[in-house]
Structures are given as C-alpha cells and as structure tokens.
A and B are shown apart, each in its own frame.
Chain A
Amino acid sequence: MHDETIQIRWHGRGGQGAITAAKIFAQAAFTHGFPGVVMAPSFGTERRGAPVEVSLKISKTKINDLCPIESPDVVVVLDDSILRDADVTAGIKPGGILVINTPKGRAVYRGANVKLATADVTHLAEQAGLRRGIVNTGIIGALARALPIVPLAALLDAIGTEFGAQRAAANIEAARLTHEHTEME
C-alpha cells in the first residue's frame, strides 16, 4: 500500500478549470521527482456550473490504485461558494490542509483539525491581468505555498507550457502573485 502517496482533492465548478489546474500541478510534479502521478475527474457527466471533483495522487512510486480519493491530505477549493453545495472536507486526514480561494480570509471556514490556507485568488488573478473569474492558475500558486513539494518555478514553467504565448504571462503572474499573498494558518 502506498502510504507515502499525497492525495489532493480539488473542488470546483464545471468550466472553472479544476481539471486543467490539477493537470498542470501533476505535470510539474512528474518532472520534479514524482514518477507516480494519477489525476482523475469525478467519474460521470460534467455540467457547467455544477460542483466537480478532481482526484490527484502524487507518489515517488507508480500508483496502482485508481479509485477516487476518499481521505485527502489536501483539499483545494477554487471558489468559496462551493462550501454551500459540497462537503469539501469529507474524509480529510486529521491535520490535513484546506486551500480556499476566498476574500473572507480565515473566517471562511470554522472546522477543526485542518490547516487553512486562504488567498483572494479571484482578485489577485484580475490584478495579474486575467479576465474576472479565471482562477485556475492563481490557485496553483496558493497550493504551491501550502504544499511546497514542487518548486514554484517548475509550476510557473508548466503553466507557461499549458497556455499559448499570448495568455502565458498573465497566468504565470496570477500564480506568482497568489503564491506571495497566500495566508497560512
């Protein structure tokens, strides 16, 4: 059993880019010391605006268990409105990390036994030059701060590769800015 596997569950809304964000993080992890990387969107249909989950498992060895994550080490929430619609911390390990895009700071979540990392990604991404509501690259910066297993530079490179030349700069800046302004408990 791969106890050393880091399990990250992402919560977003259909169309918000949770899959792309998880994919970028996974690719950077793969090229920086984690040969075992598996990412899977929730099995089934996806509707724009409806809550979606993405499972991302990262390990130093090949991952054989492809089942969706049930006890995450880290939960990433792309938009705090999802807290109303989904039990985002379901099954989270004691002392697990909860990364949330919110303007409310620590007040956004009152549950016990998790380490909270918050950033106003929506605002910071806009400041970086992205259209309002594009949060999937900014949130990568927040996760990189909360879970420093992959160098920020590698993540920024992966963002650059994912987006074409025209869109790369603002997306990279969104992640960098969010990384700088993430508040950790």
Chain B
Amino acid sequence: MFVFESGNVAAAGAVKLARAKVIAAYPITPQTPLTEKLSEYVDNGTMEAEYVAVESEHSALAVCIGALSAGSRAFTATSSHGLLYMAEQLHWTAGARLPMVMCVVNRAVGAPFSIWNDHQDSISQRDAGWIQIYVADHQEILDATIKAFRLAEELCIPVMVCYDGYYLSHTYMPYEVPEQSAVDAFLPPYSYRHTLGPDNPASLNTVTLPGGRLDIHGEFAPGYMELRHSLDLEMKRAIDIYTRIDGEFAKTVGRGGSPIVQTHLCDDAEYVAVALGSMASQLKDVADTLREEGLAVGVLAVSMYRPFPGEILTAALAGRKRVIVFEKALSFGQSGALYSDLRAALYSCDTKPIMSNYILGLGGRSYKSSDFCEAIRQSVARDSACGDHMGWIGLNR
C-alpha cells in the first residue's frame, strides 16, 4: 500500500512493522514527530510495546541497553545534541555487542545553535563502533530501518540509520508500506544469546585489565583488546551480511538490490559525484543535466558508510578521471570525512582519479542543483596537474 507521509512517519512505520518492544526516546527537533508517532501507536494500541518517556537521551539509550540485555527488541531515535549527549552509551552499546537500532535525523551541532540539517552529528560519532547507513528517500528510510534490525541482530552490532533533517524528516512523499506478514516472514522475533534475568544473573562488562584474562573456569578468555579486534573483524562482515539480508528482503518484500552503494549513469562516467543521504538523490538530476552538456557524469551514493566499503568503492571509482565528493560535515583541520576515507581507499590503486571535496549545506545553508552543476564543471575544468583540491559551496565572503 502506498502512503503519502513524512520521513519521520516512514521511520515510525518501520519500527512498528519490526515489532520493537521497548521504545525509549527524548524529543528533539527534527526527530520529534517520529517519537510522537511511536508514542501514539503505543497509546492507541496499534503497537504492542512499552514506551518509556525519559529525561534525556543518555537515559534513552541506557533504557534500551537494559531492554536488549533482558531480551526485548528496542529502538530509539535522536538528532544533533541528543546524539552527542548519548555518546558514552553509544560506545557502551557497541562494546557490549548489543543489537540496537537507532534512527539519527541529521541536524547541525551548536554552537551557534542550529536546528537545521547537516551531517556533523552522526559523522562525529562514526568511530563509536556502530554500523552507519545513510538513506536518500522515504522508501529507503522504511526499508533500511527494517533491514537494520536483521543486520544488528545477526552481527550483535548496533546500527544507526541516518536521514536528513527536514529534507527527509519533514518532507512528504509517497512510499510503499509492506504487509505485516511479509515483514514477519523476513524478521524473526528477537532472541539474544546472553539474556539477563532473575533466573540467569550475570555480571557483564566489568573492569577488564589490560592483559589477557582467565574466565571462571580458569580458561583463557578474550580481554579488552581481543574484544575490540573481534568487533572490528565482525563489523567488516556487515558488507556481505547486509547484501545477503537485502536479497532476502527483496524476496519477501519485493524491493532492494544495491544496499551498500548505489550508482546512477556510472558505467561510462569519466567524472563521478559521490555523496551521502538525500544529496545523492538530487545529484541524479545534476548528472542528467551535465550529460546533456556532453559531460560524462555519474553518481555514486554511499549507503553503508561504516563499515567502509573500500573495496567496492575502489572497484567502482578506479580509472575515472575525477571523483567529486560532496559533504555536509567535516573533520576540522582536515577535510570531509567521506573524502578522507575514499582518498585513502583509492591511494593504492594504479589509476587513482583526481579528487575534489566540496563542503556545503552546513547548518542548513541552502543549495540548489545548479550549485552542484557549477562545482562539477569547475572541478572538471581544473588543470589535472594541480591535483586534488577542496572547496566550499554557498560560502558568503
């Protein structure tokens, strides 16, 4: 069934279809309508879950950590300062290997205060040990949120589904809502290997000395460093596992096909524009326009950002003349984070493209398709002897 609703309602619908049993959240713009919708579902009985109204985002994730540990599927959502207020619990969730799913409705971070969109909030948390997925429209919000539960639960690694504040959260567009029976067939009930309960007490994640350690049976058990090593190894498996999960989703629900990266007009492209989130969707129009001018432009959307799909990206981008990365976040004193990662991935290939990095849209600064066109033309026109470069779009000076 197609509905015409906001991105926040699409996310809430996914959580309902996934039959989350505990929702703990604190409202923050632009995430608020998502949590309001979930509390409405719980209140009117269309969703069988416990909605825990908490006093902060730190507590929201702490409640979810408890719920997951006790064997209940949990969900929270936040934005900006809310995500940062959870930062300590973000690391804890990943370290404790809890299969949490959270929507991050991307918003700028103060100071100065801004309620508008950019990607600084989730990008600043990319090293917390969570899988990060960025989506481009409402259908992707809904589908990715449902698939995220499978992914998190198969790997015991938490997943953030990130979508643009306002551009997606408050914008209405049509999307298809799958049948509950199809989602039930795809997503089995939550079961956790180490469920805590009065009958099964345990002390988990206590102080772990720097060296190796023996468990209660006197046998060698993984120490802190081994646990970090296995988190890294297993997170890297997410690329293959998510690809398989996406295939199963396509079989039961009927949509899917390119869960890690998505390309548009890339086959013969000499120049490829790369971005996260809804920008990647807009870049399709940009590529269409520039193709009419005779520029062989393609688009690559990075849907899974952590783990970083370096091999897939290298295969897709090696040999192109230029790669132009558009970003709504940056690592101050360096460049956009996606650009750094991509440049590192392409470093070892023999036919490394020349790269450009454009920063735009910070704090909701407006941008238009013509801005992307102009930046790509500018990048293409640069003397290749000048090498890689970084620029800003929409800066008043």
Contacts and interface: CB of A to CB of B under 8 A. Distances in A.
A26 interface: yes
B196 to A, nearest CB: 42
Given A45-B115, A66-B282, A38 B173 contact: yes
A40 B174 contact: no
Contacts of B282: 64-67
Interface string B156-180: 0000000000111011111000000
Interface in B288-335: 288-289
B366 interface: yes
A64 B284 CA distance: 7
Interface in A1-60: 1-2, 23, 26-27, 30, 35, 37-41, 43-45
B223 interface: no
Interface residues of A, number: 22
Given A43-B364, A64-B281, A66-B278, A26 B115 contact: no
Interface residues of B, number: 26
Which of B171, B364, B368 has the most chain A CB atoms closer than 10 A to its own CB?
B171
B220 interface: no
A44 B278 contact: no
Nearest to B281: A64
A40 B30 CA distance: 13
Nearest to B5: A23
Nearest to B138: A38
A43 B368 contact: no
B369 A67 contact: yes
B285 A68 contact: no
A43 B116 contact: yes
A157 interface: no
B135 to A, nearest CB: 13
B368 A40 contact: no
A67 B282 CA distance: 9
A177 B288 CA distance: 43
Classify the interface of chain A: helix, strand, loop or mixed: loop
B362 to A, nearest CB: 14
A40 B366 contact: no
Nearest to B264: A64
Interface in B92-111: none
B171 to A, nearest CB: 4
A41 B170 contact: yes
Contacts of A30: 2, 4, 174
A40 B369 contact: no
A40 B281 contact: no
A39 B172 contact: yes
B238 to A, nearest CB: 27
A59 B81 CA distance: 37
Nearest to B172: A39
A26 B4 contact: yes
B367 interface: yes
Contacts of A68: 366
A185 interface: no
Which of A35, A39, A64, A65 has the most chain B CB atoms closer than 10 A to its own CB?
A64
A21 to B, nearest CB: 13
Contacts of B173: 37-39, 63
Interface in A75-109: none
A70 interface: yes
Contacts of B364: 43-44
B368 A70 contact: yes
Nearest to A70: B368
A65 B116 CA distance: 18
A39 B6 CA distance: 9
Interface in B269-293: 278, 281-282, 284-285, 288-289
Contacts of A27: 4
A36 to B, nearest CB: 8
Contacts of B368: 67, 70
A27 B173 CA distance: 9
A70 B368 CA distance: 9
Interface of B: 2, 4, 29, 115-117, 166-168, 170-174, 278, 281-282, 284-285, 288-289, 364, 366-369
9 contacts: A2-B285, A23-B4, A38-B172, A38-B173, A44-B116, A65-B369, A66-B167, A66-B281, A70-B368
3 closest residue pairs by CB, A with B: A40-B171, A43-B166, A39-B172
